């Protein structure tokens, strides 16, 4: 099932995700819906906050991009197609090495793209949806997407990592998007308040 993607200005995007203690059928269904939503929106990654759930859960699929990525286990390169889409439960990133600045966008912040510096190589540790453990190193686009999504899980958006001049250049667009989101939230909240008075 395709889910609605939360847009910039919604408070859930600033919430740190709750750690997942038990992998349930509902969680697996949510992950599957997030993968479908990401693919329909032509995204490379999606965090639970972006579909209105403040959980430590993200999905990634970089196969549709021509930008280079590498996934390594015990130092050995793996076939990316065997691992995509990735479902990361309670992901943790370590061993940040090097720097790679590349163009980033976000499904929650449409029409905003900017060069963002990220670590070129990282180690990812997470649980898989079947309860197993995942541990791999990654480089290139996959490393950037993993960092972008884990930022989401901690309430950090890629616009927070823009330099001051770039952020200033998008100030008008961000303000407009925030206003639109807040307006939509207000329309949803008003009927609830009216019902509460009955």
Q: What is the pLDDT of residues 14-71, one digit of tens each?
A: 999 999 999 999 999 999 999 999 999 999 999 999 999 999 999 999 998 999 999 9
Residue at 15 is within a domain: yes
Residue at 4 is within a domain: no
Residue at 6 is within a domain: no
Q: What tens digit of pLDDT does each residue of 87-118 get?
A: 999 999 999 999 999 999 999 999 999 999 99
**% of the chain exceeding 70 in pLDDT:** 94
Residue at 80 is within a domain: yes
How confident is residue 188, by pLDDT bands cut at 50, 70 and 90?
Answer: low
Q: Which residues are catalytically annotated?
A: 149
For the domain that residue 161 is a member of, what is the CATH number?
3.90.45.10
Residue at 5 is within a domain: no
Count how many domains the chain has. 1
Residue at 124 is within a domain: yes
Q: What tens digit of pLDDT does each residue of 117-170 get?
A: 999 999 999 999 998 999 999 999 999 999 999 999 999 999 999 999 999 999
* Distance (Å, whole) CA 132 – CA 126: 9
| Domain carrying residue 143 | 11-197
Residue 105: name the closest of 35, 40, 46, 158 by CA: 158
How confident is residue 79, by pLDDT bands cut at 50, 70 and 90?
Answer: very high
Residue at 144 is within a domain: yes
Distances from the Cα of 13 to the Cα of 28, 80, 100, 183, angstroms: 21, 29, 25, 16
Angle at 151 between CA 148 and CA 153, to 5 degrees: 120
């Amino acid at each position: 099932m395709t889910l609605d993607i939360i847009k910039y200005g919604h408070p859930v995007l600033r919430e740190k995700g709750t750690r997942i203690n038990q992998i349930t059928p509902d969680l697996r269904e949510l992950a599957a819906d997030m993968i479908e939503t990401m693919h329909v929106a032509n995204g490379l990654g999606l965090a639970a906050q972006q579909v209105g759930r403040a959980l430590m859960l993200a999905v990634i699929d970089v196969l549709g991009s021509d930008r280079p990525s590498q996934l390594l286990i015990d130092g050995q390169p793996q076939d990316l197609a065997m691992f995509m889409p990735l479902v990361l439960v309670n992901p943790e990133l370590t061993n940040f090495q090097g720097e790679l600045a590349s163009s980033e966008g976000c499904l929650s912040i449409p029409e905003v793209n900017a060069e963002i510096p990220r670590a070129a190589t990282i180690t990812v540790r997470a649980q898989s949806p079947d309860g197993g453990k995942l541990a791999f190193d990654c480089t290139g686009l996959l490393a950037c997407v993993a960092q972008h999504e884990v930022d989401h899980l901690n309430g950090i958006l890629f616009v927070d990592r823009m330099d001051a001049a770039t952020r200033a250049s998008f100030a008008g667009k961000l303000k407009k998007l925030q206003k639109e989101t807040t307006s939509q939230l207000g329309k949803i909240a008003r009927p609830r308040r009216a019902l509460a008075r009955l």
